[in-house]
Structure 1
Amino acid sequence: MPSTPTSQPLVPTSRPASRGLPLAGRTDQLVGSVIDSSTSLLHQQTHDIVRFAMGSPAAEAVPTAILSKLAETALGPESADAYDYAATEGDPPLREALLAALAGTSDATTADRLFLTSGGMQGLDLAGKLFIDPGDLVVVESPTYTNGSATALSYQAELLEAPVDAEGLDVEALSALVQRAGRVPKVIYTIPTFQNPSGTTLSLARRQRLLELARQWGSVVVDDDPYGMLRFEGDALPTLHELADGDPLVFSVRTFSKIIAPGLRVGWVDADPSLQPLLINAKQAMDTCTNLPMQRLVTEFLAGGHLEGLLAANREEYRRRKHAMQDALTQHLGDIARWTNPEGGFFLWVTLTNGVDTQELFEVALAEGVAFIPGPAFSPSGRFHDALRLCFASTAPERIREGVVRLRRAIDRLATRPDRAPESDLG
């Protein structure tokens, strides 16, 4: 059995020592990302690991051959201006190509609403910078994307966790939670389609009700939808952007990270035109402009008509991988777990029913050669000790089966370990 090298813990337990430096008070809320930390941790391992942890496209799903060929033109010797600074709101050719690519879709938009960002995370950070004051109440789904809730915390928000079920965010439960809180949220952060980590999708009725509540409360809905173009089963739903029909309370965040390649670090925000000057000011205080060479590369990719073919191929492959993972889970964990059934995206949310704590399980599983993200990483209050997130998109079916076998072996090892209490607190 392989051993795990000594390394930093996956889940930080305390604020690092400041060596007496006069740190800002907000640093107490800089919690970092368990997901991103897993990448560094996995690089330290010397044995074979099936990697279900990071939410990345499969290496073979990234169109490297096409991108390399396009780079010869977009970034070649005749394109010296591609290495200059860019307009803060986005390079005009990419803005034009993106508007054309979105035309006729549920995310169709206009130039005065479009703002290019350095990936989806910068879109979330811009939302926090524009809308969140210290002490503001911000709703997050429970479970939710670690980096999204961490961004709100970095602006010193007070988080209110609202439950997720098979139809996505439980909007009526949210309404009751807000009533009990005695104040309305300033921001509602939601991942409505193929949610990270659960894979669930917010139903049409709940989308409409969420917008109704947002208008009633005067709350900004931060609509984070990186996976919506990756539907491989079921019927498409209108995005919150489309349903809002220009309502300034909806701030939509999108990215090319999941649909082309994460290393591009190019995304966009769709927001009310009145926010454009503030977005420009905020971004100029961050990074001046999004990486221009990568903007030019994405422009060539979109203008060349490559996106739809890539999406079609990847949708089919991700469907195949999801079913491979569900089949393997049925065979090897069917007696001790249940899991979600997403119609697109990257993730399954697995809940163990045998009392094993997934945070304890992580190190045992890593030693057995399989990596995942434990459930508590997706809750600011540390819930979901009985759950874990598995990414099916990045792993081929045969490796998926091997990874699930290793996961079951790790679960059995932990469940029978002599020093383990009979039952874990699943809080």
Structure 2
Amino acid sequence: MSTTATLPLADRTQSLVGSVIDSSTSLLAAQKHDIVRFAMGSPAAEAIPTEALAEVAGSALGVDRADSFDYASTEGDMGLRTALVEALEGTSDATALERVTITSGGMQGLDLACKLFVDPGDLVSVESPTYTNGSATALSYQAELLEVPVDAEGMVVDALVEGAERAGRKPTAIYTVPTFQNPSGSSLSLPRREQLLEVARQWGAVVIDDDPYGLLRFAGQDVPSLHELAAGDPLVSSVRTFSKIIAPGLRVGWIDCDPSLQQLLINAKQAMDTCTNLPAQRLVEGFLRGGHLTEHLVASRSAYRERKEAMHDALTEHFGDIARWTDPEGGLFVWVTFEPAVDTEALFEVALAEGVAYIPGNAFSPSRRFPDALRLCYASTPPARIHEGVARLRAAVDRLG
């Protein structure tokens, strides 16, 4: 008999679905053959500014700053919060010190937002497809999910309204990845951003604005963030992270929300981890104060543009007859849909054997709406390897028949 079957588990354990994306890290680590890795949504090792971080570490964590290894204030070390506010001046995420709480990565920001705003049984709208860990966080607080379709202009806000009408109730929270969406790569257009905020205000629904990729635009025109458009509206809580713009292993992010919520965030965070890793906070502070972020973002955007174009060219060469895909203007991802349909979950093991990894489309929908789609991350792979990986993927499709 399973041990868990005899334990008095909490009801919420039935809603803990885990992450196919995060689990892929362990799966790929166990492989012994060469694999082109389009699965994890992370920068390439060579894209992480290790030299700058090492340079900063000496002064940020040196013997004259021995307190860097102590506990930090729960809301975040004052040095990092101040440096962050200064770094965001002039951007679409410009903010004030009293609005910023430092988190242990973007995921903790999502968890804190759900902890504050979601009760068991609440209706929470999510994009479809959506970031797996975002919907899983809402489910872990026993929410009921309303999936809203995404097209080339991001979330279809009219479909959100129609979905709420069908459900017979309004969502308590609206979760969105508005810019270079994970997994589709599409961005919410300005008219839809304005429409979404108007709908949220009419309903009194909180918008959980998860935007890790907004600073990674390499083409097209800038669009104001939901944070900027909201102009301080307390219904909008913005979750951000340094994982995509500096390095994922830092596990440092922030949540930007109405100052009246900060004590609640502190209370909630103190019951989770007391404070975010102080050495990592000091390292990020030094990186920002040293002026490294601007230079790093310029290099990242250039590299990601080149890699996205390589992905587009390779897909055109190998899949032009059987698939369509998105053409993002920034971020990390391309979303591929097969026509005629290919079962991308069945394809996964064949592709792994051929030496290429991706995330199947059903991972991005709680109701498994995308069996014929998959997500490819181009950011972590050089152009030549991208062409090789896409060729391997086509070989796997042909093997599957």
Which residue of 76, 90, 101 corresponds with 2:62? 76
Q: Using the alignment, how far apart are the partners of 1:241 and 1:321 within structure 2?
A: 29
Distance 2:350 2:62 in 1: 48
Provide structure 2 residue ranges, at least 5 long, that are not aligned to the other structure: none
Amino acid at match of 1:171: V
Match of 1:131 in 2: 117
Cα distance in 1 between the residues matched to 2:227 and 2:98: 15
Q: Which runs of 5+ in 1 are unaligned?
A: 1-15, 416-427
1:17 deviates by: 6.0
Q: Distance in 2 between matches of 1:207 and 1:401?
A: 35
Matched to 2:271, the amino acid is: A
Q: Which moved more, 1:26-35 or 1:354-363?
A: 354-363
Partner of 1:275: 261
1:201 paired residue among 162, 184, 187: 187
SS at match of 2:215: helix
Q: Which moved more, 1:349-358 or 1:83-92?
A: 349-358
TM-score normalised by the chain length of structure 2 = 0.99
Q: Specify the code of the residue in structure 2 equivalent to 1:329.
A: L
State the Cα distance separating 1:180 from its structure 2 match. 1.1
Q: Aligned match of 2:389 in 377, 397, 403?
A: 403
Distance 1:229 1:356 in 2: 34
Query: 1: distance between equivalents of 2:226 and 2:91?
Result: 12
Deviation at 1:19, TM superposition (A): 4.5
Alignment of 1:362-401 (within 5 A): 362-401=348-387
Q: Which residue matches 1:231?
A: 217
What amino acid maps onto 1:348 in structure 2? V
Note the C-alpha offset of 1:294. 0.3
1:148 corresponds to 2:134: yes
Letter in 2 for 1:212: E
Residue 77 of structure 1, CA deviation: 2.2
Q: How does 1:309-348 map to 2 (within 5 A)?
A: 309-348=295-334
In the TM superposition, what are the counterparts of 1:91-170 in structure 2 within 5 Å?
A: 91-170=77-156
**What CA distance in whole angstroms lies between the structure 2 residues aligned with 1:66 and 1:164?**
38
SS at match of 2:224: coil
Q: What SS does structure 2 have at the residue aligned with 1:202?
A: coil
Number of residues paired by the alignment?
Answer: 400
Q: CA deviation at 1:414?
A: 0.6
- Corresponding position: 1:87 with 2:73: yes
Please, what is the CA RMSD of the aligned residues? 0.8
Evaluate the alpha carbon distance shift between residue 42 and residue 17 of structure 1 in structure 2; reply closer, same or farther with a 3 A threshold.
farther
- Looking at structure 1, the residues matched to 164 and 105 of structure 2 have their Cα atoms a distance apart, in angstroms, of 31
User: Is structure 2 residue 166 aligned with structure 1 residue 176?
Assistant: no
For 2:43 and 2:346, the matched residues in 1 are separated by 27
| Structure 2 counterpart of 1:25, one-letter code | D
> 2:285 maps to which residue?
299
Q: Secondary structure at the match of 1:78?
A: helix
**Alpha-carbon separation, structure 2, partners of 1:147 and 1:200:** 18
Partner of 2:252: 266
Partner Cα separation in structure 2 for residue 47 and residue 31 of structure 1: 29
Q: Bigger CA drift: 162-171 or 65-74?
A: 65-74
| AA aligned opposite 2:204 | G
Tell me what 1:8 maps to.
none
Task: State the distance in 1 between where 2:131 and 2:290 align.
Answer: 33
Q: Going by fraction, where is helix more abundant, 1 or 2?
A: 2
The one-letter code of the counterpart of 1:40 is S
The residue type paired with residue 37 of structure 1 is S
- Equivalent AA in structure 1 for residue 113 of structure 2: A
1:57 is matched with which residue: 43, 59, 64?
A: 43
CA distance in 1, matches of 2:60, 2:86: 19
Deviations 1:285-326 (A, max 9, x none): 000000000000000000000000000011011000000000
TM superposition score normalised by structure 1: 0.93
Shift of 1:73: 1.4
Q: Does 1:210 align with 2:210?
A: no
Partner of 1:254: 240
Q: Deviations over 1:73-100 (max 9, x none)?
A: 1112222100000000000000110000
**Aligned partners of 2:341, 2:73: CA distance in 1, in Å?**
54
Deviation (angstroms), 1:355: 2.4
Counterpart amino acid of residue 412 in structure 1? D
How far apart, in 2, do the equivalents of 1:256 and 1:35 lie? 19
Taking the aligned partners of 1:335 and 1:284, their CA distance within structure 2 comes to: 54
Check if 1:412 corresponds to 2:394.
Answer: no
Which deviations, in whole Å up to 9, do the C-alpha atoms of 1:185-211 show, x marking residues without a partner?
000000000000000000000000000
Instruction: For residues 48-104 of structure 1, give each alpha carbon's deviation from its aligned partner in whole angstroms, at most 9, with x where no partner exists.
Output: 000000000111110001111111111122221000000000000001100000011
- Identical aligned pairs, as a percentage? 73
Structure 2 Cα separation of the partners of residues 76 and 410 of structure 1:
51
SS at match of 1:335: coil
Shift of 1:372: 0.1
Cα distance in 2 for partners of 1:239, 1:325 equals 27
**Of 267, 270, 284, the match for 1:284:** 270
- Runs ≥4 residues deviating over 2 A: none
Counterpart-to-counterpart distance in 1, 2:225 and 2:202: 20
17 and 371 in structure 1: CA distance in 2 versus 1, 3 angstrom threshold: farther
